[in-house]
Structure formats: structure tokens, C-alpha cells
Amino acid sequence: MPRRSVKVKASCPEKNALLSRLLREISDLFVLSVDGDAIVVPCRYIGEGGAKLLLSVFLYTRVSGLKELVLGVDPGESSTGIVAILEGYIVYKDVVHGRRELADAILELSKLVEKMEVYIGASPSARPILEELGRHGVKAVTVPESVHGGGVEHLGWRRVPRHVRDALKIALAGLYMKSAGET
């Protein structure tokens, strides 16, 4: 995606400072600023926890018009790596703390896009996320955490946290499994 200038504002002005901070943290492909005639971000997308994930996907869907999302999730004991791929473009990659906030963010994302596929590393830490998503009718596919193949470090991901690299490998393995008819 080419780099574009996008104006963004909150529907609740009291959150503009927090929105500005979040925008600085996610603005890899866009020059984002809080301003007048802009994309209006719902207040529920401006906060802590899974808010950066929500905000990032919300903005990218509004700017690009893309509506098919793949999530790779590597659940850990204290932190969870997550990668969001919007029709082939990685629009978010980070570590999220708090499985409940992550499950809430994924549920909200399911309302933002037309199609969403969630691939989660098969580990005991995945169970609470899978249960919460299942209660709300969001299907998630478990992928073996021992995904074979080369690392993603050669793609410029050397300084990315291990859980995030693993989340990308889980997403890619899930997509491969789907194309091979295994999911």
C-alpha cells in the first residue's frame, strides 16, 4: 500500500490525546494526524489493551476499502502475539497483554469486516480465547505451534518480538492448511 496522508478525529474529543498517541504507535504506512474533516473513530476503539489492533484495522479498512481479515494469534502465558493481515497487507503486528481484551477486540473486528479468519496457536493458553470467541459465534482454527519452515527474520522481522513472529507463522500456516483443505 502506498503511503497516504489521512486525517483522523475521535467522536469523543476528550480522547483526542490518547488517539494521537495510538496513531503515532501504528502509523507505519500512513501519515496520520488528528484534524477537522477526517475519518471519525468511534470512542470504543480508543483505549488500552486491544485498542491499537482495533484502531489499526478500522483505519485501514476505511482508507483502503479492504474487508477480508486474517488474524494470527500466538497465545502466551503473559503476552500474546498478534498479526492482522488485511487482504495480503500486514496492517498490525504487536504483543497484547490480557486475553480478555484480545477476545473483545477480535469480537469487535468481526463486526468491522465482511470476512475474518482467526488462526490460533494450539496451546493451553489458547483455551480462554477460543472459549470466549466460541460463545459469540466467532470461529477460530487452532494451528500446531510447532510450525515448521524457515523463520521470518529474513523478511525484516529480526527486531520483532518472538510471539509476533510466531503469530505471523501461525497465520501463514493456517492459510496454507485452508488451501490444502485441512481446516
Q: In what order do the strands lie in the sheet with 80-86?
A: 89-96, 80-86, 68-74, 115-122, 140-144
Cα separation, 94 vs 87, in Å, equals: 18
Residue identified by cell 473483545 is 104
Distance CA 84, CA 73 (A): 9
What's 4-179's CATH class?
alpha beta
pTM greater than 0.85 (yes/no):
no
Identify the residue whose cell numbers are 529474513: 154
Q: Are 45 and 14 in contact (CB under 8 A)?
A: no
| H or E stretch at 105 | helix 99-112
| pLDDT tens over the chain, length 183 residues | 445 556 677 778 888 788 777 777 776 655 555 454 567 778 887 777 677 888 889 888 887 888 999 999 999 888 899 999 999 888 888 888 877 888 888 999 999 999 999 999 999 989 988 998 999 999 999 998 776 555 555 455 556 777 888 888 899 888 888 888 876
How confident is the model at residue 179, as a pLDDT?
83
User: How far, in Å, CA of 8 to CA of 58, rounded?
Assistant: 11
Residue found by looking up cell 475521535 in the block: 10
Q: Is the dihedral of CA 174, 175, 180, 182 positive or negative?
A: positive
Q: What is the C-alpha to C-alpha distance for residues 18 and 20, in angstroms, rounded to an integer?
A: 5
Cell triple for 102 = 484480545
